[in-house]
Amino acid sequence: MPEEPKTERGRRTRERILAAAAGLIERQGVEATSLDQVLTEAQASKSQLYHYFADKQALVRAVIAWQTATVVDGTAEQLAGVDSWAGLDAWFDALVAHQRSLDCHVGCPIGSLAAELADTDEPARQDLARAFDSWAAQLRAVLDRLRDRGLIRPEADTATLAQFTLATIQGGLLLAKTTRDPQRLRAALTAAGGYLRSLASPP
Amino acid sequence: MPEEPKTERGRRTRERILAAAAGLIERQGVEATSLDQVLTEAQASKSQLYHYFADKQALVRAVIAWQTATVVDGTAEQLAGVDSWAGLDAWFDALVAHQRSLDCHVGCPIGSLAAELADTDEPARQDLARAFDSWAAQLRAVLDRLRDRGLIRPEADTATLAQFTLATIQGGLLLAKTTRDPQRLRAALTAAGGYLRSLASPP
DNA sequence: ATCCGATTGGACCGTATAGTCCAGTTGTGT
DNA sequence: ACACAACTGGACTATACGGTCCAATCGGAT
């Protein structure tokens, strides 16, 4: 019954609710965020929310889709021209700088959602698994480019390396967020970069 | 007013409540676990809970302490004799096997708690930060041993390497839990091991 | 046997939350 | 200008939750 605004006004309302929900959930988590909080921040009413979303779970899934698009597309943009170690380092630096600017709150929206929902909301878990997969695919594309340029040896398994890199990023973000110390992320990323570089020449 | 059982019976009651809370929170998260659920599983009553814990937050902090002790002490035991690459690999294998046996639910209790509580419960965040620190210290001790044996070059910064290793473990667990695929953890750990090995000889 | 603190059962309370309902308003196509 | 669907406001409901309270019971010390 709900979903899909038919007018411009409706579209903006839906967007306002979604943005407010995304922000609050990013900061507090799903369970800790109430619909009333979302509605207050979005300047909307109950009936507006339920006009566009079947229930809270549907809203959460929409938030997942929004965050996935934001993070993955944002990463794609930043990684688009990267074809050197310096370029990869610059991206790592940007990640660390971003966390520092947020005082290490939040971490990664996808990672936080995954940690909270993986065991309690199966459809959400699948969405998030796909999000991680497309993110890893982006990283793999970069590694492939580095390999094609001769910076990584040809027989290296870039898909697996991408999984490793993503894992290290996620773990580094979690440690940084927990200790409020961006150096934890820094350490993790520097080492990950070091490993990738160590794959330059054949054994 | 609450805390500290004075008799053996009380001690067991407190322990039952704590164990039930730890299990439920590990599977569902803090917010998704209600006190009534805990009491049903522990076969205890409200007054018993509030006799030993000031409020839900106090119970959660006790769970954090319990899980920290379990995980860190467990790790200490498993890593105690490790002084070779084979030993480290065996530990990694055990981590992967454990996740596989759990069908990749749960992941790491400390990591899950950290992701959920870091931004909403400051004292809990500090507890968890300390948990990560002592865990990292254990890893560092192993790396120091490897270094002393000449397997890692002397000038390597084992503290930073320990942070990196912990981050990769946490991230690998998160990816595995989200995708229900233990290979994600496997890939992360194998790469981390590869990096540590690459530090054998001077540049 | 008696006492007294430790412990226990469970009814009870206030509140916050997800979700419902419907009457009213707005805007768009004709 | 009219009709009709899209949209909105907000009161309302049921329930689940964290937390309180107090009377009853238990068990060791004297």
What was the pLDDT predicted at A3? 72
Q: How far apart, in whole angstroms, are the C-alpha atoms of residue B90 and residue A13?
A: 55
Q: Which nucleotide has its C1' atom closest to residue B36's CA?
A: D17
Q: How far is A102 from chain B (nearest CA, A)?
A: 12
Same domain, A179 and A144: yes
Residues A137 and A192 in one domain: yes
Residues A33 and A118 in one domain: no
End-of-domain residue from the set B54, B76, B96:
B54
Within an 8 Å CB–CB cutoff, is residue A179 touching chain B? yes
Minimum-distance residue to D21 (CA–C1'): B47
- Which of residues 125 through 154 in chain A touch B, CB cutoff 8 A? 125, 128-129, 132-133
CA–C1' span, A165 to D20, in Å? 51
CA distances from residue A4 to A41, B105, B192 in whole angstroms, order as listed: 21, 35, 46
- Residues of A with Cβ-Cβ distance to B185 under 8 angstroms: 167
Residue B59 lies in a domain: no
B203 is a domain residue: no
Give every residue of chain A whose pLDDT is below 50, as ranges.
none
Q: Report the distance separating Cα A40 and Cα B115, nearest Å.
A: 26
Same domain for B45 and B130, yes or no, is: no
Whether residues A19 and A74 fall in one domain:
no
**What is the tens place of the pLDDT at every residue in A43-99?**
999 999 999 999 999 999 999 999 999 999 999 999 999 999 999 999 999 999 999
Check whether residue A136 and residue A183 sit in a common domain. Answer: yes
State which residues form the domain around B24: 1-54
Give yes or no: residues B91 and B146 share one domain: yes
Give the CATH number for residue A13: 1.10.10.60
Judgement on whether residues A157 and A95 belong to the same structural domain of the protein: yes
Would the CA dihedral through B137, B155, B194, A90 be positive or negative? positive
Q: What percent of chain B has pLDDT over 90?
A: 93
- For chain B, the domain total comes to 2
Q: Is residue A143 within 8 Å of residue B164, measured between CB atoms?
A: no
A43-56: per-residue pLDDT in tens?
A: 999 999 999 999 99
Q: Does B188 sit within 8 Å of A167, measured CB to CB?
A: yes
Are A110 and A183 members of one domain? yes
Cβ(B147)–Cβ(B158) under 8 Å?
yes
| DSSP label of A81 | T
A35 touches strand D (CB under 7 A): no
